[in-house]
């Protein structure tokens, strides 16, 4: 049920916040985010660092509703709202990382995510690294250049 709820909430945000004109570029950020999340989670789940319970639809040990909800949707919105100024990027990465970490904390408390050989601080580190990589992707691949306003 929790996976369905995060999916619905994120798609509602998507519909409210999406810039349809930029979707053909920003969708690549969603695809990159989902690919990275699936790779990381499938590896960490196979190492029994953590476990996903009741994924509804399993995809490489993760929940399809998580991959296509928060990860894919926020990946697209992340690119759409990615700042161009260096100081803003420096703030953007930890703020988005914190939001993902808070969501993970709630999933952990609801029992659909279980840490086995893992800790919250480990997730925060992975989230910051992943969001940092997504920022690099937005700047260098999608062309969200620093200092270049559209």
For residue 102 the two structure tokens come to 């808070």
For residue 4 the two structure tokens come to 């369905």
pTM for this entry: 0.89
The answer to whether 101 touches 74, Cβ cutoff 8 Å, is no
- pLDDT value at position 144? 79
Dump pLDDT digits (tens) for 98-132. Answer: 999 999 999 999 999 999 999 999 999 999 999 99
Dump pLDDT digits (tens) for 131-146. Answer: 999 999 999 999 877 5
Q: State the pLDDT confidence band at 24, using cuts at 50, 70 and 90.
A: very high
- pLDDT value at position 30? 97
**Helix pair 2-17, 72-80: axis angle to 10 deg:** 30
User: Could you give the CA distance from residue 91 to residue 150 in angstroms, rounded to a whole number?
Assistant: 20
For residue 67 the two structure tokens come to 């991959």
Residue 150 clears pLDDT 50, i.e. is over it? no
User: Could you give the CA distance from residue 113 to residue 44 in angstroms, rounded to a whole number?
Assistant: 13
Residue 147 clears pLDDT 90, i.e. is over it? no
Residue 15 clears pLDDT 50, i.e. is over it? yes
Dump pLDDT digits (tens) for 62-90. Answer: 999 999 999 999 999 999 999 999 899 99
Average pLDDT over residues 5-18: 95
The answer to whether 67 touches 74, Cβ cutoff 8 Å, is no
DSSP-derived secondary structure letter, 145: -
């Amino acid at each position: 049920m929790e996976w369905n709820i995060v999916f619905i909430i994120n798609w509602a945000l998507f519909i409210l916040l999406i810039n349809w004109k930029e979707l053909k570029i920003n969708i690549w950020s969603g695809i990159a985010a989902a690919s990275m999340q699936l790779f990381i989670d499938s590896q960490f789940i196979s190492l029994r660092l953590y476990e996903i319970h009741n994924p509804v639809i399993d995809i490489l040990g993760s929940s399809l509703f998580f991959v296509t909800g928060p990860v894919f949707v926020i990946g697209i919105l992340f690119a759409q709202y990615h700042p161009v100024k260096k100081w803003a990027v420096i703030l953007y990465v930890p703020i988005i990382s914190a939001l993902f970490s808070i969501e993970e904390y709630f999933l952990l408390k609801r029992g659909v995510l279980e840490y086995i050989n893992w800790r919250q601080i480990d997730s925060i580190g992975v989230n910051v690294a992943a969001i940092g990589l997504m920022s690099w992707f937005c700047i260098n691949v999608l062309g969200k250049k620093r200092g270049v306003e559209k």
